[in-house]
Amino acid sequence: MSADQARVGFCAGRRGTRWREALMAFWRKAVATARLAIGVPDYDAYVAHMRAHHPGARVMNYAEFFNDCQARRYRNGRTGCC
């Protein structure tokens, strides 16, 4: 490995950049899926949706968003399992 490769990273160049972007996109989707599976709401997706589809509406902060999701999830005292 040359000094330039060590300085900018092993995956330097166009192919390395595309590979890294694909890996990061996969990682973001994997994290979002894992969060949904364990019941952690995706605040970033909520903010993106609100800005894209409801530009004039107020966007809740994370604490408000989390409390709203928890209230909707447990509103009947059930988890939806039984």
Per-residue pLDDT tens digits for 26-74: 999 998 889 888 878 889 889 999 999 999 999 999 999 999 988 888 8
Domain residue limits at 65: 41-82
- Do 47 and 21 have their domain in common? no
Q: What are phi and psi of 36, to 5 degrees?
A: -65, -40
Q: Quick one: three-class SS letters along the chain?
A: CCHHHHHHCCCCCHHHHHHHHHHHHHHHHHHHHHHHHHCCCCHHHHHHHHHHHCCCCCCCCHHHHHHHHHHHHCCCCCCCCC
Higher pLDDT, 55 or 2: 55
- Do 79 and 53 have their domain in common? yes
Angle between helices 43-53 and 62-73 (to 10 degrees): 100
- Do 58 and 68 have their domain in common? yes
